Amino acid sequence: HRPAQAQTQKQTRPAILVSEKLGEAGLEVLRELSDVDCLYDLSPQELASKISNYDALIVRSGTKVTRDVFEAAKGRLKVVGRAGVGIDNVDLQAATEFGCLVVNAPTANTVAAAEHGIALLTAMSRNIAQADASVKAGKWQRSKYTGVSLVGKTLAVMGFGKVGSEVARRAKGLGMHVIAHDPYAPADRARAIGVELVTFEQAISTADFISLHMPLTPNTKNVFNDDTFSKMKKGIRIINVARGGVINEDALVRALDSGVVAQAALDVFAEEPPPKDSKLVQHENVTVTPHLGASTKEAQEGVAIEIAEAVIGALKGELSATA
């Protein structure tokens, strides 16, 4: 009786491909019930050639799960797990057509992203990155790096979801006047934090600082463009720890050159990594980090466990549904 049971278990152990670094605690959860291969830095061709060997795929933002991937899976791929919040790197239409579930880890990196937003806000306003590079280059330019104060300034939080509301809460602690725009935001949550919900136009035209926290969707793509920059207060400062694609980057370079935007602090880019000669990245009034919003030890461990449980749960549902 026992060998037969062991054999049955072996046959039903799903195979999972993890294509970007996932915390050990999450891998342990996966390994209890499945066979796991961690193959990082696969080219799109390599991913397509291997994907039909797996029931589930776990990615962060670096792997593009395109229609080609679903086609190459030949019907075996049942679940894509996104170890993070944004699922804009997964072709959801193709996933639906190929009967593949897409799950994410919606909560574990909220605080990390909000903290990175605040880190960029304060670093930008005091020229920390530029001043650091200058001192290391042997200079001592105190007046060049005079900053701007945050207290009493208006911060517009664009997208008042989990991350946006945590940024708002922290910015209130810095003495900022916080307003927010989000068509879906519950008014009671805003009221509880002491944040005024306003229209998009009001937000962009009254803010001294804007922090972006909206997902990238067809509706939000390039929503910050020449037209929106022209409605902002001259000298506005922008933080983006959401998705690069919500800003038209050429328009942002123009707004920086004209002084409409005094400074930008960006963790995300329309193309990642951005081209080496990117005018935006090289701009002297721009502070950049390489999509580090979710990258704290604590968040990555939490995300790994959250996504592992979601993928195993989805596979179990899938397996029992097909049993």
Tell me the catalytic residues.
Answer: 243, 272, 291
Give whichever of 19 and 130 is closer to ligand MLT, judged by the CB atom: 19
Within positions 109 to 128, which residues make up the interface with ligand MLT, using CB under 6 A? 109
Give whichever of 203 and 294 is closer to ligand MLT, judged by the CB atom: 294
Question: What minimum distance in Å lies between the beta carbon of 1 and ligand MLT?
Answer: 45
Regarding 19 and contact with ligand MLT (CB under 6 A), the answer is no
What track of x and - describes contact with ligand MLT for positions 71 through 90 (by CB under 6 A)? -------------xxx----
- Residue 253's identity, in one-letter code, is V
Question: What minimum distance in Å lies between the beta carbon of 224 and ligand MLT?
Answer: 18
Give whichever of 242 and 312 is closer to ligand MLT, judged by the CB atom: 242
Question: What minimum distance in Å lies between the beta carbon of 59 and ligand MLT?
Answer: 8
DSSP H helices in the chain: 2-12, 24-33, 44-50, 67-72, 92-97, 110-125, 128-136, 162-173, 187-193, 200-206, 226-230, 249-258, 279-282, 297-322
Question: What minimum distance in Å lies between the beta carbon of 226 and ligand MLT?
Answer: 27
What track of x and - describes contact with ligand MLT for positions 242 through 281 (by CB under 6 A)? ----------------------------------------
Give whichever of 55 and 306 is closer to ligand MLT, judged by the CB atom: 306
Q: What is the DSSP letter of 17?
A: E
Regarding 108 and contact with ligand MLT (CB under 6 A), the answer is no
The structure tokens 């207290």 sit at: 151
Regarding 294 and contact with ligand MLT (CB under 6 A), the answer is yes
- CA-to-CA distance for 71 and 290, rounded, in angstroms? 31
Question: What minimum distance in Å lies between the beta carbon of 9 and ligand MLT?
Answer: 33
DSSP secondary structure letters along 43-112: -HHHHHHHGGG-SEEEE-SSS-B-HHHHHHTTT---EEEESSS--TTB-HHHHHHTT-EEEE--STTHHH
Exposure b/e, 204-222, CB count within 10 A at least 16 = b: beebbbbbbbbbbeeebeb
Give whichever of 79 and 294 is closer to ligand MLT, judged by the CB atom: 294
Among 255, 291, 307, 308, binds ligand MLT (CB under 6 A): 291
Q: Exposed, middle or buried by CB within 10 Å (0-12, 13-18, 19+), for 1?
A: exposed
β-partners of residue 82 are 59, 104
**Tokens read off for 213:** 């926290």
Binding site for ligand MLT (CB under 6 A): 60-61, 84-86, 109, 291, 293-294
